[in-house]
Amino acid sequence: MSGRTFGRKLAVGVGITGVLTLFSVMLAAGCLLFVTQAKDKVINAATNELAGAENLGRLMEKRLGDYRAYLLYKTDEFLNAAAQDRIDFRSQLAALASSADPTVTALLNRISDAEEKHAAAIDVVIALRAKSDSPLVASTLNTNTAVPLRKEVLAALGEMITRVRADVADDRTRSSRQATIAIVVILTLGAITTACSIVVAWRLSRDLRREVGAAVGHIQSSSAQLEAAAAQQANGGRDQASAMNEITTTINELLITSRQIADSAQRVSKIAEDTETAARTGDQTIAQTRASITAIRTQVDQIVQHMLALGEKSQQIGGVVDLVSELAEQTNILAINATIEASGAGEWGRRFAVVAEEIRKLADRTAASAKEIRTMIEDVRGAVNTTVMATEIGAKAVDAGSRQFDDATNAFRDIAQLVSTTNDATREIELSTKQQTTAVEQVNVAASDTARVSRETESSAVQTKQTAAHLSTLSGDLLELVGNRGH
């Protein structure tokens, strides 16, 4: 029976019990019918055969009475009565002969033969009584002829009655034995039915405890879990409601912040417009500055050219100075040699030596002056070179500054473009912030609805918890009902 539902098991068990009960009832009915038939047979035998036999005797006795009355009173009334009694006797005898067994039939034939002989004897006696007035003659004849026949009839009747009584007793005994067998069969079947019912009840009880108890245990466990989950859900709903309240508060603050951002974006947009205007105004200043830088570059180039020319002139002066220095040196040498030569030339030589010495001094002074000039020229050339280098550095600086200014100009234009872009972006931010504010308001409404739903969810969870607790209690009661409390 495993794997079936408990309802099917219950239906099968009740069906088996019902079938056994029906079978027992039918068998009991059959046995009762059998016993009834047996008893009916006994009763019929008792009523029909025994009563018929007894009735034969009574009719025989009644005929004999009417016969004796006729013999005494010689009236037709008693004669007719006796004749009627014989008819009734024969009818009763015929009735008994129709359903009798062979032994009884033989006895009935014997009775019929004896009655025929007795009736013949009686007819002789009746005829004699009809002829005579005294009953004694007839009585004597009766005693001699009819009485033995009458005893023979009565003996046959008695034997038949005995026989019928024996048959009735046998039938009664047999029917009682059959009734006993039927009782035993019914009791046995009842015991089997009861045993089957007990087994079915035990199996159903066991399955009820096992399956229904397990299911109810699961229901109880699930109810406990459902209760815990409902409690958790209630706590969650409470926390969610609290969180949604905080979210609502935060959204309100966010709404205020969004409005402030919108205002700030509007101000930034205004500032960006002003910045864009200022940037466009700065283009003229940039053009003037660029012209000034170009003029500076031209002047620097001219300075470089002049300095280079000055350097060339200084180089030329240096050449002249070198020539003067060469001449002075040569003059110095010549003067010294002249002095040397003059030293051996007496008085004239000494005068010439004086002149030569003066010439040497002039040459030395010239050489010194040339040297100073050379130094000055070198200084001038160094200064020119330094100036040229500085000027070139300045020119490069001007070029670099010009490039940087171009970069700055481009950057300034980029800044202006970016400011314009920023202005557009700021307007978009302003519009987006307004839309965001509207969205935040909608979110605020939605958050309020969500908080309300959270509170409703908390209430539902509390109700669910109570229902789960009630269901757990009911499960415990049901476990007690199925007798599986310790499951």
Partner 1 sequence: MGQLGETLAPALDAGLVALVFQAGPFFCALPLDEVIETMRPLPTRPLAGTPPYVRGLTILRGEPSPVIDVTRLLTGVTSEIDRYVAVRAGRGPVACATGPVLGVRTVRASPPEGPSTLFTGASRSLVAAVGTLGTEPLLVLRSIRTVPDEVWEAAAREHTTGVPA
The whole-angstrom separation of Cα 138 and Cα 123 is: 11
Q: Based on CB atoms, which residue is closest to partner 1, 102 or 344?
A: 344
Instruction: Output the smallest distance, CB 351 to partner 1, in A.
Output: 14
With 0-12 / 13-18 / 19 or more C-beta atoms within 10 angstroms meaning exposed / middle / buried, residue 384 is buried
- Cβ atoms < 10 Å from Cβ of 87: 12
Instruction: Output the smallest distance, CB 328 to partner 1, in A.
Output: 13
Instruction: Output the smallest distance, CB 372 to partner 1, in A.
Output: 17
Instruction: Output the smallest distance, CB 316 to partner 1, in A.
Output: 25
Q: Based on CB atoms, which residue is closest to partner 1, 330 or 375?
A: 330
The whole-angstrom separation of Cα 201 and Cα 40 is: 40
Give residues in contact with partner 1 (CB under 8 A).
329, 332-333, 336-337, 339-341, 343-344, 353, 357, 360
Q: Based on CB atoms, which residue is closest to partner 1, 302 or 337?
A: 337
Instruction: Output the smallest distance, CB 376 to partner 1, in A.
Output: 22
Q: Based on CB atoms, which residue is closest to partner 1, 345 or 431?
A: 345
Instruction: Output the smallest distance, CB 340 to partner 1, in A.
Output: 5
DSSP symbols for 432-452: HHHHHHHHHHHHHHHHHHHHH
Q: Based on CB atoms, which residue is closest to partner 1, 124 or 334?
A: 334
Instruction: Output the smallest distance, CB 371 to partner 1, in A.
Output: 12
- Cβ atoms < 10 Å from Cβ of 228: 12
The whole-angstrom separation of Cα 436 and Cα 269 is: 18
The whole-angstrom separation of Cα 332 and Cα 328 is: 6
Instruction: Output the smallest distance, CB 352 to partner 1, in A.
Output: 12
Q: Based on CB atoms, which residue is closest to partner 1, 211 or 329?
A: 329
Going from the C-alpha of 416 to that of each of 285, 413, 423, 424, 433, the distances in angstroms are: 14, 5, 10, 12, 24
Contacting residues for 23 by C-beta, under 8 A, at least 6 apart: 189, 193
Report the half-sphere exposure of 341 (CA within 13 A, side-chain side): 9
Going from the C-alpha of 214 to that of each of 475, 480, 481, the distances in angstroms are: 11, 12, 13
Q: Based on CB atoms, which residue is closest to partner 1, 140 or 343?
A: 343
Q: Based on CB atoms, which residue is closest to partner 1, 357 or 441?
A: 357
Instruction: Output the smallest distance, CB 382 to partner 1, in A.
Output: 24
- Cβ atoms < 10 Å from Cβ of 269: 19
Q: Based on CB atoms, which residue is closest to partner 1, 341 or 477?
A: 341
Instruction: Output the smallest distance, CB 394 to partner 1, in A.
Output: 41
Q: What is the 3-state secondary structure (H, E, C) of 32-66?
A: HHHHHHHHHHHHHHHHHHHHHHHHHHHHHHHHHHH
User: 75 phi and psi, to 5 degrees?
Assistant: -110, 155
Going from the C-alpha of 154 to that of each of 59, 84, 160, the distances in angstroms are: 11, 19, 9
Helix axes 51-73, 147-207, angle to 10 degrees: 160
Q: Based on CB atoms, which residue is closest to partner 1, 75 or 337?
A: 337
Q: Based on CB atoms, which residue is closest to partner 1, 137 or 336?
A: 336
CB 207, CB 6: distance < 8 Å? yes
Q: Letter for the amino acid at 259? A: R
Instruction: Output the smallest distance, CB 300 to partner 1, in A.
Output: 43
Burial code (b: 16+ CB inside 10 Å, e: under 16) for 121-157 equals bbeebbebbeeeeebeebbebbeebbbebbebbbebb
Instruction: Output the smallest distance, CB 356 to partner 1, in A.
Output: 9
Q: Based on CB atoms, which residue is closest to partner 1, 166 or 340?
A: 340
Give kind and range of the element (H or E) at residue 406.
helix 346-481
